Amino acid sequence: MLGIDEIVTGGLCIGCGLCKSVAGAECIRMVTTPGGRERPVAVRPIPDEALATINAVCPGTQIEGARPETLPDDVETDPIWGPAVPSTLAIAHASDPVVRHRGAAGGVLTALGQYLLRSGEVELVLHVKASPDAPLRSLATVSETPEAVLEAAASRYGPAAVLEDLGGVLARGRRLAVIAKPCDIGAVRRLAEVDDRANELVRHCLTLACGGASDLGKSLDVLDRLGVREKDLRLFRYRGHGNPGPTRVETKDGRRFDLTYQEMWGDEAGWRVQSRCKICPDAIGEAADLVSADCWPGGAPEGEDEGFNAVLSRTRAGVRLFERAVADGALTVVRAIGFRDMDLFQPHQVRKKRAVWARLEGMRAAGMAVPKVQRLRIAELAAGNDEGVNEEEMLGAQQRASAGRLGEPPAGKGQVREERPEEKSAKS
C-alpha cells in the first residue's frame, strides 16, 4: 500500500483530488507546487482504512478499462480504441450554434451536459471551469442549469482537482453526471465499486480524448512572453469561440492578446505535460460512457472551421444518451466514421497506447511503483510492435526513471508556495 507522498514522488499522481475527498480535508489538502501542479499533502496521519480506499480508487495506482457488464451486446472492442458501438461512431456537433461556437471543437460535451439537465436525467453536472477571480486557474464546479454548463464551456488545459469534493457532491443525494479527463473518470468508476452513493448517483461519465494535462507553468510562461502579470488578468481562455479558437488573454486594463493553436501548442517539447500522462494507458477514456475527441486529420488543425467532434459511445448508458440527444435535436450527426478514422484523427494516441506497456516495464526495472492496469490490452499491443520498439521504450523509461525524470519532489512543507489571495477566493 502506497502513502500519499509515495504516489506523488513516484510520478503517479495527476492531481484529481479524490484522495482528499476520501480522507477528508482534515487529513489532506490540495496545494499548487512551484512547478504548477495540483498535489495532495497529508496534514495529519491518514487512517489505514482511508488510505486503503485511496489506493483502491486512485488513478495513479489503479487504471481499468470498461466494466464488461456495462457494455451493450453489439459493442466492438478495437485493440487501440477499446469498446464502442460501431453504429454510433460519428462526427457530430452541438445543434445549438452558440454552444457549437463556444465549446471546444463542436461543443458535444457541453451540449450533452445541458441535455442531461434539461431532460431531468440528472440534477447536477460536475465539471471544471475557469476561476472567476483567477482566470488562469481552473476549479471544480457543480452546474444545476444548462446556462451554467455553457458558462464553463471549452477546454481547460491546466491542473484542476475536479474530484476533491466529490464526497460533498454525493452527500447532496442528487443524480449527477461527471464531465472530466479520462483519469478522473477512471477514479470515479473505481470509487463506485466501494461507495454505494457513487454507484447509485453518478448516472453518466463523459470525457474527452486527452493529450495530457499540462503544468500551470506552461500558461505562466505564456504570460511572461506577453509581459502580463497573473494578477492583472481578466480572461485566460485556452480554446473555444471557434474551432480550435484562439488562446485569448485579456487584462483588466484593456489589453488583448490572441495566440493560434499552433502558437500555443505547436512545440510539443514545451507542453509541460505531467509525469502521469506520459505513462497513461487510457488517455482515450475507456472507462467512460461516451468520449468526444478532436477530429483533425493528422492530429492538428490547419485553420479554423465551424467545429466538429468525433464521438465514441461505449456503454449502454452512453449509446442511449447519444441516440436520444440526436433524436431530440441536441446533437447533429455529420457522418459515420470507423476506428481507423480515429487513428488518422489522433495518431499520438495510437503511438502512446502501443508504447505504454514498455514504459511501465522500464519504470518497474528502475525500482519504481507502477499502476495496476486491467482491461486495456497494453501487453497485447506491445507484442505487436516492430522489433526493437519495446526495448527502446523500456530502456528510455528506465533511464528517465533512474534519473528522477519520471518522478517529482514531494509536495510538502518548504516546497509549496502559499495560495495567492485570488486562489483562496476561487476555492471558497
Which pLDDT score, from 0 to 100, does residue 379 have? 98
Which pLDDT score, from 0 to 100, does residue 268 have? 67
Tens of pLDDT, residues 35-65:
889 999 999 999 999 999 999 999 999 999 9
In sequence order, the β-bridge partners of residue 93 are: 332
Which pLDDT score, from 0 to 100, does residue 266 have? 79
Q: What is the DSSP letter of 195?
A: -
Which pLDDT score, from 0 to 100, does residue 412 have? 73
What is the sign, positive or negative, of the torsion defined by CA atoms of 116, 122, 123, 125?
negative
Which pLDDT score, from 0 to 100, does residue 272 have? 85
In sequence order, the β-bridge partners of residue 31 are: 39
Q: What is the mean pLDDT of residues 165-180?
A: 98
What whole-number distance in Å separates Cα of residue 24 and Cα of residue 18? 10
Banded pLDDT at 419 (limits 50, 70, 90): very low
Q: Is the pLDDT of residue 420 over 80?
A: no
C-alpha dist (Å) from residue 159 to 64, 213, 285: 22, 7, 18
Residues 6+ apart with CB under 8 A from 345: 293, 294, 295, 296, 297, 299, 310
Q: What are phi and psi of 240, to 5 degrees?
A: 95, 175
Mean pLDDT taken over the chain: 94
Tens of pLDDT, residues 318-355:
999 999 999 999 999 999 999 999 999 999 999 999 99
The model's pTM is 0.94
Tens of pLDDT, residues 237-259:
999 999 999 999 999 999 999 99
Tens of pLDDT, residues 63-72:
999 999 999 9
Residues 206-244 as b or e (16 or more Cβ within 10 Å = b): bbbbbbbbbbbbbbeebbeeeebebeebeebbbbbebbb
Choose among 16, 41, 19: nearest CA to 30: 41
Q: Are 14 and 412 in contact (CB under 8 A)?
A: no
What whole-number distance in Å separates Cα of residue 57 and Cα of residue 287? 13
Q: Within 10 Å of residue 332's Cβ, how many Cβ atoms?
A: 19
Helix (H) or strand (E) holding 402: helix 389-402
C-alpha dist (Å) from residue 360 to 3, 79, 327, 379: 20, 18, 43, 10
Q: Is the pLDDT of residue 366 over 70?
A: yes
